[in-house]
Amino acid sequence: MTTFTDLGLSPKVLDAVEAAGYTIPTPIQAGAIPHALQRKDVLGIAQTGTGKTASFVLPMLTLLEQGRARARMPRTLILEPTRELAAQVEENFVKYGKNHRLNVALLIGGVSFDDQLRKLERGADVLIATPGRLLDHFERGKLLLSAVDILVIDEADRMLDMGFIPDIERICKLIPFTRQTLFFSATMPPEITKLTEQFLHSPVRIEVAKAATTAKTVEQKLVKSGKKDWEKRAILRDLIRAEADGLKNAIIFCNRKKDVSELFRSLVKHEFDAGALHGDMDQRARTTMLANFKDNKLKILVASDVAARGLDIPDVSHVFNFDVPIHSEDYVHRIGRTGRAGRSGKAFTIVTQADAKYLAAIEKLIGEDITWHDGDLSTLPVSSEPDEAPRRGRGGRDKPAPKRRRNEGRERERPQSEIDIIAAAEKAKEIEVEPLDDQPVIRTADKPNKVAIKAENDQRRARPEQRSEPRRDHRRDRDDMGAAPIGFGDEIPAFMLIDTKI
């Protein structure tokens, strides 16, 4: 059996690993660490919870024992998709690098630029950053990337989901071509494969599990529900109570940040020990909430997918999907928060009729059928209301139904010829069709025909002698007005009728 001493790590690193209580590396660690120590590019594919972080932290610590950093010129760069993942990697460097004197800088949003700049000016051996904040410092001229020897791109598929791929491509072009690149991802969609072909040079591919598979230590169950949110909340509370004996702590995932807040308030109202975590919270609140959950000060954490990727909370007993994820890969990451490091865990997913196609995509991705907890969707009572698709983010919010226009849906006929008008009149069962010169006049029992009325009015205007009372133009009754000004005819503006002294 392979141990950490067989991987070629330095004595300082081995001492820190032993102090942390680890002796046997995970498959991804055993496969990636020796090649990383040989300065080869590595493409690591492994499901979440298999120890990918240590796969690059431990060899980097060994390689960084020689040399020193210069101001604003970091020696290594690690890119993470979220602030929480970046902070977690920093914690790993602190834990495993306790025997090293390395400067570790963290560049994430929600933290003062000045504090981060002071760390860069001291010289960073390890720079851990999210792409946006890294480029902010670079564009301000506060950071140079020409001395980066090792580039790590972690959770690459999450980078793709969050739209960071253009930023990653730009950053890779700013770093020396001779760098070593360590690339880790849980799944390999085509866009990620194209990225690896562009920026990795003859990489060693380490794939310890089939892409997008779930851990065998996680018991997965599906729970049927009606489409109303209050029904889903009631079912969730019943599940939590039913699992009370084995539930140490739990993460509940929602698709939308709005639903995170609503579900959190509902659980607190029903006297559950719960907290909330989503992307709109400020960094201090997010860090505090996550720390409280890790320290078992909170039993339940309601979260968006910001907590689904890579967060190392070793002993989560349960995961509940309040919403079925729209992207099937997210399901793999969500339930990967439990059953970590060989422990057992349970994952429950609440499913409505509208979730059927998303559930089918998940089962196709993971290559297995998930069992139902208490009967499938066919046992639900038939609802007369239309199903609603799962909602996620701003684009998924309910849109108000368009206002129904008056007389909408009625057939409107606008005949243009005499034959069409007569045919329309016969169809509407007109009571009288009376021709008037060239245009027919049609009078109906319920409402007048607009075309016929217009034609009749035009005829009457052409024969003013037939009027019972001639129309008077009161503006022309005054004797002192004389002839109408040239160019106005009968329509004289009112301001020209005002008496003035000459």
- What type of residue sits at position 426? E
Residue 104 contacts residue 158 (beta carbons within 8 Å):
no
Q: Which tokens belong to 81?
A: 């998709």
DSSP-assigned states of every residue in 242-291: HTTTT-S-EEEE-SSHHHHHHHHHHHHHTT--EEEE-TTS-HHHHHHHHH
Rounded-to-integer distance, Cα 345 and Cα 311, Å? 16
Helices and strands, number each (H, E), in the chain = 16, 16
How far the first Cα of the chain sits from its last, in Å, is: 117
Torsion region of 407: left, alpha or beta (phi above 0 gives left; psi -120 to 50 gives alpha): left
Rounded-to-integer distance, Cα 36 and Cα 76, Å? 13
Helix residue spans in 438-481 (DSSP H): 450-462
Three-state DSSP class for 486? coil
Three-state DSSP class for 187? coil
Residue 139 contacts residue 171 (beta carbons within 8 Å):
no
Rounded-to-integer distance, Cα 64 and Cα 75, Å? 8
Listed residue (243, 271, 256, 270) closest to 348, CA to CA: 243
Three-state DSSP class for 165? helix
**Residue 238's pLDDT is what?**
95
Rounded-to-integer distance, Cα 193 and Cα 364, Å? 20
> What is the bridge-based pairing of β-strands 318-321 and 345-351?
parallel
Residue 16: CB partners within 8 Å, gap ≥ 6? 61, 95, 96, 97, 98, 99
Residue 391 contacts residue 256 (beta carbons within 8 Å):
yes
| φ and ψ at residue 206, rounded to 5 degrees | -115, 110
Provide the edge-to-edge strand list for the sheet that holds 42-45: 104-107, 126-129, 76-79, 150-153, 180-185, 42-45, 204-207
Structural domains of the chain ordered from first start: 4-207 (3.40.50.300), 218-382 (3.40.50.300), 415-449 (no CATH)
Residue 343 contacts residue 313 (beta carbons within 8 Å):
no
Residue 214 contacts residue 332 (beta carbons within 8 Å):
yes
Count of Cβ atoms closer than 10 Å to residue 73 Cβ: 16
DSSP state for residue 25 in the 8-state scheme: -
- Over the chain (502 residues), the average pLDDT of each successive run of 10 is 90 94 91 95 83 93 91 95 90 93 92 90 95 94 94 90 90 94 88 90 86 76 90 95 92 92 94 89 83 90 78 83 90 84 86 93 90 82 50 47 46 44 48 45 48 60 51 44 55 68 65
Listed residue (157, 180, 247) closest to 35, CA to CA: 180
CA 442, chain centre distance (Å):
60
Helix residue spans in 145-282 (DSSP H): 156-161, 165-174, 190-199, 229-242, 257-269
Q: Which residue has the tokens 């010829």?
A: 417
Residue 342 contacts residue 352 (beta carbons within 8 Å):
no
**Residue 330's pLDDT is what?**
85
**Residue 93's pLDDT is what?**
95
Residue 447: CB partners within 8 Å, gap ≥ 6? none
Torsion region of 224: left, alpha or beta (phi above 0 gives left; psi -120 to 50 gives alpha): beta
**Residue 148's pLDDT is what?**
96
CA 302, chain centre distance (Å):
16
Rounded-to-integer distance, Cα 299 and Cα 306, Å? 18
- What type of residue sits at position 31? G
